[in-house]
Every structure is written in C-alpha cells, then in structure tokens.
C-alpha cells in the first residue's frame, strides 16, 4: 500500500518569498511522485512529476521538487511567490511496479492551500 | 474547447433521488477515472476504467455505480443519493506514457449537494 502525507493544510507566504510545500510518501516499492495544482473553481492540473533519473524535477510556473529517497520526501518549492500561485496543491504517489503492468493508480494527499500575502 | 467536460457543473438534489454525472473527453484516452473531493480529505478514487470493457472499483465505491458507454464517455451514478455524498466530483483521463507514468487530465468538476 502507498500513502502520501502533506504537512500543513494551509500555508501563507508573502509575495516574493520562498514557497515550500511539504510532502512525504510511503511506498513498499520505488514510487512515481506527482504534484498537482488546483486553482479556484477548476480541476487539477499537473505541475511536475518524478519518474526516474534526475531527482530534482522542474515543473511549470517556476516550481520544482526534489525526490529524496532517504527522507521519503518530495517537497515542492518556488524561489519567489507570485499572487497567481494562490491555489491548492496536491502531492500524489503511484506504484511503479503496478505501473509496469499497466495498472497504475494515483493516491493523493489531503492538499495544502497556499495563500499569498501582498 | 475543454478536453475533459463534466455535466452538470452544479446539482442540488434530495435524499433518495437517482443522480447521474456525465464525463466526456476528446483526448482519445483509454483510461478514465471518477474521484470525489472533500475538504481535508483530498481526492479519493471511486471507480476507474482502463478501457471500455474494463471497470474497477476504487477505494470508496459503495453507493456508486458507473457506465463506460464509449471510449469517450464515463458516467457516474448515485442510485439513491444521501447527504454524505455531498462533495465535488472530478472525472479524469490518462494515457500510458513511456514507463507507464501517465499524467491524469481532470475535468472542471461537478459540485453535488444532497439535501
């Protein structure tokens, strides 16, 4: 079984400040990891994903995340927050082994709502 | 035009009524999913379908049923709605990429209220 824990259901940062959203995962096999963003009144869209290779993954809108196996973490960062970053962010994990059999499903965290202070 | 559409976008109904939520996609993907989103609980998988003939229960399928009418259409039904089914419902599609790391594409959601 796999699971994701997002620390902090609400995070507030000032415009221009560093954004750090935390995600820890649990998986019995090497995971695939994702960050999705949900803007108000919209569906989710993919920010970035880690599959194999480089552990620092760059996504859209200046976001990046680093896969740290030893810490079972996949934290999302952005050097300088913008007002348009206000949204809810979801970390998700899928089972790499199930994926190889074409049976991949995502398990989502509970989400972190990011507020940007002008 | 949106690649994944959901109808209706908002629905208010009464306890005991039958409700159908519809999802259509123009992405040509074989895989489709239904999730519900509740505050503080994130997204939970209700049902998923990897092709027209393949339908599987997710983690919270009780009280729900689905129909995959075609590759492009996947409907979610609540046979007898109850208040704790009040939630935001999302449809998603995906297509296996290399290594099976398929990205999921979400519709705009249906907000369902059961009184």
Contact A49 B103 (CB under 8 A): yes
Contact A42 B107 (CB under 8 A): no
Within 8 A of A105 by CB-CB distance, chain B residues are 45, 48, 58
Contact B96 A100 (CB under 8 A): no
From A111's Cα to the closest Cα of chain B, the distance in A is 6
Q: Report in angstroms the alpha-carbon separations of B69 from A2, B66, B76, B107.
A: 31, 9, 11, 18
Instruction: Name the nearest CA neighbour of A90 among A52, A34, A40.
Output: A34
Contact B108 A43 (CB under 8 A): yes
Q: Which pLDDT tens digit goes with each residue over A32-91?
A: 899 999 998 888 999 999 988 888 999 999 999 999 999 999 999 999 999 999 999 999
* Helix and strand totals (H; E) in chain A: 1, 11
Residue of chain A minimizing CA distance to B103 = A46
Contact B101 A41 (CB under 8 A): no
Handedness of CA B60, B64, B105, A10 (dihedral sign): negative
B79: which DSSP letter? S
pLDDT greater at residue B98 or residue A94? A94
Q: Which pLDDT tens digit goes with each residue over B43-98?
A: 999 999 988 999 999 989 999 999 999 999 999 999 999 999 999 999 999 887 65
CB-based contact B79:B15 (threshold 8 Å): no
A50: which DSSP letter? E
Contact B108 A94 (CB under 8 A): no
Query: Testing the interface with B: which of A25, A50, A93, A105 to mutate, by most B Cβ within 10 A?
Result: A105
Residue A50 CA to residue A44 CA, distance in Å, equals 17
Chain centroid offset of residue A109 CA: 9
Within 8 A of B40 by CB-CB distance, chain A residues are 9, 110-111
Instruction: Name the nearest CA neighbour of B2 among B19, B25, B36.
Output: B25
């Amino acid at each position: 079984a796999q699971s994701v824990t997002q620390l902090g259901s609400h995070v507030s940062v000032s415009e221009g400040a560093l954004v750090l959203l935390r995600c820890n995962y649990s998986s019995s096999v090497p995971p695939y990891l994702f960050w999705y963003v949900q803007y108000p009144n919209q569906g989710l869209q993919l920010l970035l994903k880690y599959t194999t290779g480089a552990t620092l993954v760059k996504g859209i809108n200046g976001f990046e995340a680093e896969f740290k196996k030893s810490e079972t973490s996949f934290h999302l960062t952005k050097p300088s927050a913008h007002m348009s970053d206000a949204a809810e962010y979801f970390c998700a994990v899928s089972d790499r082994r199930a994926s190889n059999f074409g049976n991949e499903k995502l398990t989502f965290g509970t989400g972190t709502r990011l507020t940007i202070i002008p | 035009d949106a690649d994944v559409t959901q109808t209706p976008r908002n629905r208010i109904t009464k306890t005991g009524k039958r409700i159908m939520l519809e999802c259509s996609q123009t992405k040509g993907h074989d895989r489709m999913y239904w999730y519900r989103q509740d505050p503080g609980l994130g997204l939970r998988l209700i049902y998923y379908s990897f092709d027209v003939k393949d339908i599987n229960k997710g983690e919270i399928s009780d009280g729900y049923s689905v129909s995959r009418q075609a590759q492009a259409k996947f409907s979610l039904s609540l046979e007898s709605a109850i208040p704790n089914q009040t939630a935001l419902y999302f449809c998603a599609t995906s297509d296996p990429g290399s290594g099976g790391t398929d990205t999921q594409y979400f519709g705009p959601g249906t907000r369902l209220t059961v009184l």
